[in-house]
Amino acid sequence: MLLEEFRIHALTNNVIPVFRKVLADGETPLGIYKKLAKNQPGTFLLESAEHGGLWSRY
């Protein structure tokens, strides 16, 4: 998503999901989240099912 697209969505939405795929073989999703969120309020981690999983958690 480009910055301008984000700004357009921000005019009418309260929450805008932003994501990026990264190669992080030595990291866990929770570890990366903790580094990025830095204990800031209003942050959260969405979890998804992979490898044949049936249910996502969001």
- Give the model's confidence band at 54: pLDDT under 50 very low, under 70 low, under 90 confident, else very high: low
Say which residue, 42 or 58, is predicted with more confidence. Answer: 42
Residues 28-43: tens digit of each pLDDT: 888 988 998 998 998 8
Secondary structure of the chain in HEC code, one letter for each residue: CCHHHHHHHHHHCCCCCCCCCCCCCCCCHHHHHHHHHCCCCCCCCCCCCCCCCCCCCC
Looking at every residue in the chain, the average pLDDT score rounds to 82
**The model's pTM:** 0.47
How do the domains of the chain map onto residue ranges?
A: 21-58
19, two tokens? 């994501």
